[in-house]
Structure 1
Amino acid sequence: MNKLMKAVSFVMAASLVLAGCGGGNADKAGNVGGNEANPETVDYFKLPEPVEMSVIKSVGPGLKLKSGETIEDNEYTNYVFNKTNIKTKVLWDASSTDFDQKMQLAIANNEIPDAMIVDEKTFRAMAAADQLEDLTAVYKRYASPQMKDFYKSTDDKALEKATYDGKLMAIPSVAIQADAPSILWLRQDWLDKVNLKAPRTIDELKQVLHAFIEKDPDGNGQADTIGLTGNSFQLATDGGGIHDFKGIFNAFHSYPMIWIKDENGEVVYGSTTFGTKQALSAIHEMYAEGLIDKEFALRKNPDDLVLSGKAGAFFGPWWVPWALIDSLKHNPKADWKPFMIEDAKGQYNIASVPVSNFFLVVRKGYAHPEAAVVYSNMRVQAERTPDKQAMKLDPGHGLWPLLMTVDYADAATRKHDLLLDALAGKVKKEEMDGEMQLVYEQELRDRKNPRKNPDDWAAPAAYLLGAGILKLPMNVTDPVYSAMTKTMESRWANLQKMETETFYKIVLGDEPLNAFDQFVKDWKEQGGDKIVEEVKEELKK
């Protein structure tokens, strides 16, 4: 993982309270917010008696525990117990690189913790193997009004995704749809220096990149600036990537790595469409002209180019300002602004993010399945509408026993609107929740001394600029499938390897553009056609 993404992981973990939009502080009593199916009082946030809930932990390489703390016993687990009466026990932990393999082995041996977070493929496999507890009744009884409100923002599609054979078998995540657009982040001060307007089209982007390379935008008298950054991990990710070229793909109605329906309503894999071939051609031309970092395919840390002030253009999501804090510390004059690249018809195209990517599941037979729901209520409230104790938790740890994003699907734009209303005097500061008051105060300080304190600049910029760009009218393509079919289990790794290698070779000029046609042919013959049919069958269920 490159340094910028590490920084983003840290900042976003610390700032998840800023990614939501306070769903209102519901009282603890069951008669507040409506829980019609439950006539007696239910405490959404604390069980009547202490219970133990076993979990497993993925531990990042940079984790530093405080003196006397362990992964099982720390300020986060103590907060959880004090708030919920849930004592979490760590069955085992593993490094982030080994965690998934160890987890899959444990599932295969039916050595499952009481609660765990899994991806969609694992969730459906566990549900099919009858390893999961039915959460239908405990969700209906114990889910807080705030949690239910978040799921309503998805039109309950998230709950549908967590339903198997008519039963709610997991507590699903809610993906913030703001992560869908790939935004072009540019240094406005560089645009001003080279006397150009922000680009709207691919051709205008190329003009800007030429100027960024040739006209000494940083004013140091040296030819040491580059055009567009790229990464050595993936040319186009399926959501939330930095330094990829997804924004260019989307401008050609191309949605790599995503299952979609084409203009005829047929299920297709986005990486095999004609639009993808067009996008690869455009990216290759930009690379051949020297407009893309010539070392991008090998560069492990493309963020270094941004943080050191050598690059003034890259694609990323709305929350990029949090990742630019170090850039501003290096150069407070760096004035980053977001823009979108349009297609040939002047329209903006995006693929929406799958409504749920992760699922909190409960082991079948666990005596207290309601603990998972109460825990979820507490954790989400602690991040979205935190109390004083939650605000004191060290974000550098992020040691929640279980961590999964549950928020409003349109959280970022809600925050954008709320902040604008507060700045316009339409909403009083005291009428906002604690975290929005913080962002409001940060924006006021930043307006007095622009970018002097990067920490004050980041959150307001993410919501006012990054989320503001999301207000543009966009053509949205919805993914139709995001799990794993039987043939995908055995063939997908090889198919993805072939895809990645072919795309890079085309972009770098090691293969001609028509290598794409051979890739599509090989992809279909080596399992792609069968997978397409399996996806179609899955969609009928």
Structure 2
Amino acid sequence: MKGSKWGKGIGVIMAILLVAMMAAACSGNKEANNQPAESPTQADNGNGKAGQEETQGEEAFDYYRYKEPVEITIVKDVPPDLKLPEGETIEDNSFSRFVKKHTNIDFKVAWYATGQDFVQKQQLAIASNDIPDVMLVDETTFRQLAAAEQLEDLTEVYNKYAQPQLKSKYEATQGVALAKATYDGKLMALPNLSGLAESISLLWVRQDWLDKLNIPAPKTADDVEAIAKAFVQQDPNGNNKADTVGLTGSGASLYSNGYAGMHDFTGLFAGYNAYPGLWLKGEGDSIVYGSTTPETKATIAKLRGMYANGLIDKEFALRKDPNQLVSNGEAGMFFGPWWAPWNLSESITNDPAADWKPYWIADAEGKLNTHMVPISSHFVVVKKGFKHPDAVMTYINWYTGGDSLKSEDEKERARAQQRLDDFQALDPTLIIALYPLYTTYVDTDVVEKTNIKLKKAISGEIKPEDMEPGDRIVYEQWQRDNAKPKSNAADWPPPYAYLNGGDAVMQPVDRKVFNEYTATTKTMQRKWANLQKLETETMYKIIMGEEPLEAFDTFVEKWKSQGGNEIIAEIEAELSKQK
């Protein structure tokens, strides 16, 4: 259940994190009307101390900047093959200096690693109680740390020092987010907040190829198959070569159980009302594993038939970068999230005629289905005994802060503008890799809100200067791209994603399916790796014709007998306690 984020979800973080960071770059001092109800010099935090009063005097109280310089140790999961500019390091770089300049917080990287190496090293640090001051962890690791009493109670820190905008975002989840970060009645972490649009897997198609071949827009799984066949057989790129792929796939995963992934088949599974990898509600209080259902088997059968007929990339299971097929014009169809245009920049640079459009594939009854990403799936935790937990709150306040560009105070506007200028000078491709606690704190409907505001700005209903900084920057990108279409690969993706991807995900949803359990049971800790290996190998082999479709039934039997039934019983027992 654990793993590195790299290779999955990086586009979503880029798509939303950068817009949020633009707004954060403009955040600054809030005046007295935003002061906490209880003065930080008067409130006791339960440990005989008065919170920030030792370092944050009442007169200088600032949600977004720690008064005294403070050092916080962290660990980092860095992307593979990360290339930094000359003279910069993981710990000391333009972004870390930007953060320190504006928050007074110096993040020191105790150690860093990549992928499973990071996961293993983090678990070793937890087991030896040698964790850094602050970490970003998944739900299972959070509960593991809380149960071992390794975490600082953040209840008072949040109540006193969380900035109002952040509190309103949490409140909008109707208590769901903070409840997930609560252990034994105490707030033991600060949970992230995800945009729910990240859940939806769309079919992105070369509309220019559809038009050339006179093919209507896809609606169902059968349409996907028909288009794939046409793309393979009818030379849609017009080079008189049999070199086009019907549908891409991914060797990393066949489906996602959280964020919609790039190049997997999650959207096709949803078209069969199948949700592999999720724990689903069965009859009564029973739980069913989504990978073992008849609907999942039906989807695997469809994929097996398409692969046998040459309609899916023959090398998909081994291909390291399926997006390369899209970039070089060999593939004109793939499943991906609303933010897929970030991965299409090279495609439109190589071929400005490429016209990509997103479609939501319905089931046989015409219903639009989707699994739903958890509102909170990652947690900022603070080591028990760390002297400055309020500094962590200050940092998150700063990151999620509001707009000071419209402040009536001239000096504050100048400071906000300087923050924005400093941020825009950073290399956007490195921000995710270098961001100390890379996660999202966004409105759950952030994509929909941005979509609407962009349309209003384009139509003249609102003035650009009245937009929030992040939204305004996307609007300015739209202006430049509209004046010279696809001439700048950096300007095209954001507005195209928010407008076109946003339109697609804003359709009325017929069925939203949530994962009923997102932690880890005792049996899962011992047996999940083997069960996942069984699942992955069986699914791939069936699709690629190495095993018959009947092997799916054998897989289900083995999965249940080799630990699946025990896990389901544990999950049902755990969920019953929460009622």
Query: Given the two structures, how large is their TM-score scaled by the length of structure 2?
Result: 0.88
Aligned to 1:451: 486
Question: In structure 1, what is the Cα distance between the partners aligned to 2:357 and 2:574?
Answer: 42
Letter in 1 for 2:420: D
Aligned partner (choices 518, 538, 541) of residue 505 of structure 1: 541
Pairing 1:473–2:508 present: yes
| SS, match of residue 329 in structure 2 | coil
Letter in 2 for 1:418: K
Letter in 1 for 2:276: P
Question: In structure 1, what is the Cα distance between the partners aligned to 2:248 and 2:187?
Answer: 43
Letter in 1 for 2:552: F
- How far the C-alpha of 1:112 sits from its partner, in A, is 1.3
Q: Greater shift after overlay, 451-460 or 361-370? A: 451-460
Could you say what the CA RMSD is over the residues aligned between the two structures, in angstroms?
A: 2.4
| SS, match of residue 466 in structure 1 | helix
- How far the C-alpha of 1:426 sits from its partner, in A, is 1.3
Question: In structure 2, what is the Cα distance between the partners aligned to 1:505 and 1:95?
Answer: 28
Question: In structure 2, what is the Cα distance between the partners aligned to 1:381 and 1:17?
Answer: 14
Letter in 2 for 1:183: L
Indicate if the aligned counterparts of 1:20 and 1:415 stay in contact, CA closer than 8 A. no
Per-residue CA deviation, residues 6-27 of structure 1 (Å, 9 max, x unaligned), is: 6983795486233689699776
Aligned to 1:490: 526
Where in structure 2 are the equivalents of 1:266-345 lying within 5 Å? 266-345=286-365
Q: 1:302 to 1:71 in 2, by over 3 A?
A: closer
Aligned to 2:227: 208
Per-residue CA deviation, residues 383-407 of structure 1 (Å, 9 max, x unaligned), is: 9996332222222332222222111
User: Structure 2, unaligned stretches of length 5 or more?
Assistant: 1-5, 42-57, 406-418
| SS, match of residue 76 in structure 2 | strand
- How far the C-alpha of 1:382 sits from its partner, in A, is 9.1
| SS, match of residue 510 in structure 1 | coil
Aligned to 1:387: 420
| SS, match of residue 492 in structure 2 | helix
Indicate if the aligned counterparts of 2:202 and 2:336 stay in contact, CA closer than 8 A. yes
| SS, match of residue 454 in structure 1 | coil
Letter in 2 for 1:196: I
| SS, match of residue 360 in structure 1 | strand
- How far the C-alpha of 1:146 sits from its partner, in A, is 2.3
Per-residue CA deviation, residues 301-327 of structure 1 (Å, 9 max, x unaligned), is: 211111110000000000000110011
| SS, match of residue 207 in structure 1 | helix
Pairing 1:357–2:395 present: no
Q: Greater shift after overlay, 116-125 or 50-59? A: 50-59
Question: In structure 1, what is the Cα distance between the partners aligned to 2:455 and 2:261?
Answer: 27
Aligned to 1:60: 79
- How far the C-alpha of 1:377 sits from its partner, in A, is 1.3
Q: Greater shift after overlay, 197-206 or 459-468? A: 197-206
Query: Given the two structures, how large is their TM-score scaled by the length of structure 1?
Result: 0.94
Q: Which runs of 4+ in 1 moved over 6 A?
A: 5-8, 23-26, 382-386
Indicate if the aligned counterparts of 1:162 and 1:359 stay in contact, CA closer than 8 A. yes
Aligned to 1:534: 570
Per-residue CA deviation, residues 26-64 of structure 1 (Å, 9 max, x unaligned), is: 763474346334476541112222222111222333333
Q: Greater shift after overlay, 94-103 or 174-183? A: 94-103
How many percent identity over aligned positions? 47
Question: In structure 2, what is the Cα distance between the partners aligned to 1:402 and 1:23?
Answer: 14
Q: 1:418 to 1:242 in 2, by over 3 A?
A: same
Q: 1:24 to 1:327 in 2, by over 3 A?
A: closer
Aligned to 1:198: 217
Per-residue CA deviation, residues 89-134 of structure 1 (Å, 9 max, x unaligned), is: 2222234442121111111111111111111111000000000000
Indicate if the aligned counterparts of 2:12 and 2:198 stay in contact, CA closer than 8 A. no
Where in structure 2 are the equivalents of 1:370-381 lying within 5 Å? 370-381=390-401
Aligned to 1:248: 268
Aligned to 1:409: 444
Per-residue CA deviation, residues 137-184 of structure 1 (Å, 9 max, x unaligned), is: 001111112222322332231111111111110111112211111100
Q: Greater shift after overlay, 18-27 or 331-340? A: 18-27
Letter in 2 for 1:516: F
Question: In structure 1, what is the Cα distance between the partners aligned to 2:136 and 2:76?
Answer: 10
Where in structure 2 are the equivalents of 1:3-152 lying within 5 Å? 9=10, 12-13=13-14, 16-18=17-19, 28-29=29-30, 31-33=32-34, 35-38=36-39, 42-152=61-171
Indicate if the aligned counterparts of 2:25 and 2:423 stay in contact, CA closer than 8 A. no
Pairing 1:428–2:463 present: yes
Aligned partner (choices 460, 467, 472) of residue 437 of structure 1: 472
- How far the C-alpha of 1:81 sits from its partner, in A, is 2.3
Question: In structure 1, what is the Cα distance between the partners aligned to 2:22 and 2:195?
Answer: 11
Q: 1:359 to 1:229 in 2, by over 3 A?
A: same
Q: Greater shift after overlay, 205-214 or 379-388? A: 379-388
Indicate if the aligned counterparts of 1:11 and 1:323 stay in contact, CA closer than 8 A. no
| SS, match of residue 400 in structure 2 | helix
Aligned to 1:231: 250
Q: Greater shift after overlay, 94-103 or 197-206? A: 94-103
Q: 1:220 to 1:26 in 2, by over 3 A?
A: closer
Q: Greater shift after overlay, 263-272 or 159-168? A: 263-272
Letter in 2 for 1:489: Q
Letter in 2 for 1:9: I
Indicate if the aligned counterparts of 2:152 and 2:382 stay in contact, CA closer than 8 A. yes
- How far the C-alpha of 1:263 sits from its partner, in A, is 5.9
Q: Greater shift after overlay, 206-215 or 411-420? A: 206-215
